[in-house]
Chain A
Amino acid sequence: MSAFLALIQRDLRISWRLGGGGLLGVLFFLSVVVLMPFALGPDIPLLKRMGPAVLWLGAMLASLLTLDRLFTADLEDGSLDLLLMSPMPLEMSCLAKGLAHWFATGLPLIVATPVLGVLLNLEPETSLFVALTLLAGTPALTFTGMIGAALAVTMRRGGLLLPVLVLPLSIPVLIFGVAASNAAVTEQGLFGAPFSILCALTLAGFIIGPLAAAASLRQGLD
């Protein structure tokens, strides 16, 4: 357990001191949201109606942007080999890395959501609801994406392949995330059911993501 926590601590410290991957993701999130009015026109009611969808799409793309770094940095400096050889199961290491990655890159997106909601003319409580669905859903994005990152790290030009591998797998998260936030915005439709499924996807991601990622790392790096 101490190794688990130490790995989380190490990854968080690295991401805090180097590169600032989390802030880069937020910047990308901001750029996507800012681009939307240029594409759709400065139509306030339209932006308001599309707000939750835009926020979800932006968060999804931003979390995709930082995924590439999940394993590559460790591969480059050789610590991935140490993780492979360590007595802690590789699945647990992947879980720890995924959690740390989410804290470093996913959480800043959620914190930024209410601020970006203002740009889309969302009511404050609506933004909070979207942030809540993101809080429930972004771990699923991270842990689905982790599978793609683990596959991509073992090959050259893997970074190019990553979005193609990950995006189809993340469609369910997007559907239920937007469904739950729309229910909160328009006050029609169910909020509880899609939100619960979103939580279920995250919980399933905690299991499937590390298992599949560890399998592909083990197969790819021997």
Chain B
Amino acid sequence: MLFARLANPSRFLSFTARILPWLAVATAVLMVLGLYLSWTAPDDYQQGATVKIMFIHVPNAWLSMFVWMVMSVSALGTLVWKHPLADVAAKAAAPIGASFTFLALATGSLWGRPMWGTYWQWDARLTSVLILFLMYLSLIALWRAVEDPTRAARAAAVLTLVGAINIPIIKFSVEWWNTLHQGNSVFRMDGPTLDRAFLMPLFTMAIAFTLLFITLHLAAMRNEILRRRVRTLLLMQAGGRAP
């Protein structure tokens, strides 16, 4: 079982040191390929070239949810299985997830400007992603509020799991609220069914972004482990004990 083997931080560090370069190269290759495919993809007959924002926007939006799922599994790892690296994984994932969510919002808003004529629309999807972004930020705030990393991890794990239950409820309620407020929606996602010409670049970009997340996440986990070692050494030094 790989997860059990990697519970030892030193083993994790040496394992990731070996695979990280490969992951980084694979990410770069797929990213270049995906960008090339997006570049050469045909323009949409309605939206023109702006449809290409989709190739950046959709992978970010999908990762914004995926990262919360990764954090929820890590939270279970912290609370139930007491895996030593679960809280490191959860902590490292939070800022990355927040960045993906922010990028999804920013690209969505840039896409909205030519399509809806405004940067911001209280559309159901945008609103629920915005709330997801708020929850990422509050989770990061919680991580920062507690000095002791293991206690911070448990508190954050509870909040992550509560969020995992609540996010579908929020999404459902925002959709309800939206249909109540707006009779006619400005923008309909089900408008053009995706053509094969769009599907390939989108698929490539989605894989590239997922690999990017895995690469960044493993690197951030390594940094977090090293940061904790430095913290322990400093504490030992402050306590007057030789490390």
Which residues of A are interface residues toward B (Cβ below 8 A)? 147, 150-151, 154-158, 161, 164-165, 167-169, 171-172, 175-176, 179, 189, 194, 197, 201, 208, 212, 215-216, 219-220
With a CB–CB cut-off of 8 A, which chain B residues contact A212? 158, 161-162
B158 touches A179 (CB 8 A): no
**Centre residue among B154, B162, B180 by max chain A CB count within 10 A:** B162
- The yes or no answer to B126 lying at the interface (CB within 8 A) is no
B173 touches A176 (CB 8 A): yes
**A164 close to B165 (CB less than 8 A):** no
Instruction: Choose among B137, B138, B158 the residue that contacts A219 (Cβ–Cβ < 8 A).
Output: B158
Counting chain B residues whose Cβ lies within 8 A of the other chain, the interface size class is 20 to 34
Q: 29 A-B contacts, Cβ less than 8 Å apart? A: A147-B162, A150-B158, A151-B155, A155-B145, A155-B146, A155-B151, A155-B155, A156-B145, A161-B138, A161-B142, A164-B138, A164-B141, A165-B138, A165-B141, A165-B159, A168-B131, A169-B163, A171-B131, A171-B173, A175-B176, A176-B176, A197-B173, A208-B165, A215-B158, A216-B155, A216-B158, A219-B79, A219-B157, A220-B151
CA of A215 to CA of B146, assembled, Å: 17
Contact partners of A164 in chain B: CB under 8 A: 137-138, 141
Closest residue of A by beta carbon distance from B180: A179
Q: Considering the complex of A and B, which 6 residue pairs feature the smallest CB-CB distances, nearest first?
A: A219-B154, A172-B173, A216-B158, A175-B177, A175-B173, A164-B138
Most interface-central of A150, A168, A171, A220 (chain B CB within 10 A) = A168
Task: Report if B207 contacts A (CB, 8 A).
Answer: no
Given contacts A155-B145, A216-B155, is CB(A194)–CB(B176) below 8 Å? yes
Known: A215-B79, A216-B154. A161 touches B141 (CB 8 A): yes
A169 x B166 contact (CB < 8 A): yes
**Inter-chain contacts of B158 with A (CB < 8 A):** 147, 150-151, 212, 215-216, 219
Whether A154 touches B155, Cβ cut-off 8 Å, given contacts A169-B162, A212-B161, is: yes
Interface string of B63-87 (1 = CB under 8 A from A): 0000000000000000100000000
Which among B131, B145, B163 has the greatest number of chain A C-beta atoms within 10 A? B145
Whether, in the assembled complex, B32 has its beta carbon less than 8 Å from a beta carbon of chain A, the answer is no
Q: Are B154 and A189 within 8 A (Cβ)?
A: no
User: Out of A158, A169, A215, which one reaches B145, CB within 8 Å?
Assistant: A158
Of the candidates B146, B158, B165, B172, the one having the most CB atoms from chain A within 10 angstroms of its own CB is B158
Chain B proximity of A2: nearest CB distance (Å): 30
CB of B226 within 8 Å of the partner chain: no
Per-residue 0/1 for B169-180: is the Cβ within 8 Å of any A Cβ (1 yes, 0 no)?
Answer: 110111011001
Q: Is there a chain A Cβ closer than 8 Å to B134's Cβ?
A: yes
Question: In the assembled complex, which residues on chain B have CB atoms less than 8 Å from the CB atom of A189?
Answer: 180
Contact A179 B177 (CB under 8 A): yes
Asked if B135 is an interface residue, CB under 8 A from chain A, the answer is: yes
A219 to B173, CA, bound (A): 31
CA distance A175 to B174 in the complex (A): 7
Query: Other CB < 8 Å A-B pairs besides A176-B173, A220-B154, 12 of them?
Result: A151-B142, A155-B145, A165-B138, A165-B141, A171-B173, A172-B172, A172-B173, A189-B180, A194-B176, A208-B165, A212-B162, A219-B155
